Amino acid sequence: MPRTAEQFANIRQERKEEILQVALRLFGEKGYEATSIDMIAKTANISKGLVYNYFENKQKLLETVLDMFFEKLGDTFKALYDSTEPAEVIIRQMLYTLRDSMKAEIEFWQFYTRLSFQFTEYLKRQYGAEMGRWMHKVTAMMEELSFANPQIEAIKLGSIIDGICINYILAPKFYPIDEVIENVADGFEAQRADPR
């Protein structure tokens, strides 16, 4: 019995997702420059031509993986952006959400961490606004917490989060992420109670 158009569409989508997952892993492990389309095809057990059937070139494949990452990240943090909880609760929840996401999807975070050092123009162009939105939200939370310089506190939190990501990605089995996240959250609450 021949396949239906819907079955072909499902097969095509599954194959595309498989290529994206392999690309995500290889870009995360080896970096963008060191990962070739040939390497992606071999790892996915498909022909190089089939990869090009789905993606025009390696740059388009990277852009699709980035879009997938930021869409997932946006979905993860959307509820926090819209929350009406007190700022200290949102900051703690943001840190917990980050920790849970890194634990559950380490390949995504390896990819992001490696790519953030190779920060492409596409990444800045596509996601600069989202990063600005995050910074605006965190700065507003720091204002609510009565910090003397809310923007610096927001930058500090962003830098701490970057450090947590890098250290956890480098040694997930040895990095005490739960304790670090609690310490950071407690530190912001203590600073609020005793502003300097």
Q: Which residue has the tokens 């040939």?
A: 38
78, 131 Cβ separation under 8 angstroms: no
Q: What is the pLDDT of residues 3-60, one digit of tens each?
A: 787 777 777 888 999 999 999 889 888 888 899 999 999 999 999 999 999 999 998 9
Backbone angles phi, psi at 194, to 5 degrees: -135, 70
| Structure-block tokens of residue 129 | 């606004």
Q: What is the mean pLDDT of the chain?
A: 85
Residue 150: which of 191, 114, 111 has the closest Cα?
191
- Residue 157 pLDDT exceeds 60: yes
Q: What are φ and ψ of residue 40, in 5° steps?
A: -65, -45
Question: Which residues 6+ apart lie within 8 Å of 54 measured at CB?
Answer: 15, 16, 19
- Identify the band that residue 66 occupies on the pLDDT scale cut at 50, 70 and 90: confident
pLDDT of residue 192: 64
pLDDT for 75 beyond 80: no
* Diameter of the chain measured on Cα atoms: 74
Residue 55, classed as helix, strand or coil, is: coil
Tokens of 136: 């605006």
- Helix/strand/coil for 57: coil
Residue-wise pLDDT tens digits, 174-192? 999 999 999 999 988 887 6
Which domains, from first to last, does the chain contain? Answer: 58-193 (1.10.357.10)
> 102: helix, coil or strand?
helix
Q: Report the amino acid identity of residue 80.
A: L
Q: How far is CA 21 from CA 25, 55, 71, in A?
A: 6, 14, 15
Quick one: tokens of 53? 């059937």
pLDDT for the residue numbered 80 = 76
